[in-house]
Structure 1
């Protein structure tokens, strides 16, 4: 298993992995379509990062760190191929993101999620994310929980 940084050759994998889980559990929102359709514009160019997990020449997972403001990034668009779920791939990707954010000296990470995704929420808590109040106009209609991880 290898963790890679964004390259345009993986842009389609970023989109497809995310569309797969969104369609399975929820629906694809306009905000998702924009970001997934142009990750360089919405994530990379403003100062964010996208990572991929590659195993035997196949991209099996992805996650993004989207800049909200200086020192504050949203951990978003995390997706693991169903064939590779249950193998701690997401946890390894989460560990990588936290270490990356700490190395960059960021203040904190936030996550918007949904309580329906019990395993994901459990893992976020396991890694130190704590629930904070969610704003009324959060960017995701499906989002019913917001979490924060202090990095300092």
Structure 2
């Protein structure tokens, strides 16, 4: 398997949106906040101090995730998706491992994520890599989010 994790480039913006919309429509639906982030990911993620990375498998972009800046040393891990044709190859886990290592190398204090208790496999993997459930806020921008997890990095 020839898998590498590559940083955002402008020409990947459409692929970022397409991967996420496919995932959202498979499990949930596209919500207003998704549209805001996905329609212009450069302005609404990158230009606000965030990052986007992609999984490249045999020269094809097959997965992605984003770091959304929450605070000085806190980032939200979100918008993780893998092309359905490439699921089962542990690409999502490779993205997660890369994300954690990237956060540690940059000396971030904490990663947070929001998910759904419907996604048992994802929650299992998050726990496997050290994420712990914490209290979730009210009035979140996503109806699907019913669990919040965090990983302390320091």
TM-score, normalization: structure 2?
0.97
Deviates more, 1:60-69 or 1:131-140: 131-140
- The 5 A counterparts of 1:77-96 are 77-96=79-98
- The 5 A counterparts of 1:10-25 are 10-25=12-27
Return structure 1 stretches of 4+ with deviation > 6 angstroms.
none
Please give the per-residue CA displacement for 1:113-148, whole angstroms capped at 9, x wherever unaligned: 001011101000000000001111122111000000
Q: Distance in 1 between matches of 2:152 and 2:47?
A: 24
**Alignment counterpart, residue 117 of structure 1, candidates 109, 119, 136:** 119
Quick check: 1:104 aligned with 2:106? yes
Residues matched between the structures, number: 152
Could you tell me which runs of 5 or more consecutive residues in structure 2 were left unpaired when the two chains were aligned: none
Q: Distance in 2 between matches of 1:34 and 1:133?
A: 26
Instruction: Name the counterpart of 1:55.
Output: 57
Could you tell me which runs of 5 or more consecutive residues in structure 1 were left unpaired when the two chains were aligned: none
CA RMSD of aligned residues (A): 0.7
Quick check: 1:45 aligned with 2:47? yes
Please give the per-residue CA displacement for 1:47-100, whole angstroms capped at 9, x wherever unaligned: 111000111221100000000111110000000011111111000100101000
Q: Distance in 2 between matches of 1:117 and 1:110?
A: 16
- Structure 2 counterpart SS, 1:45: helix
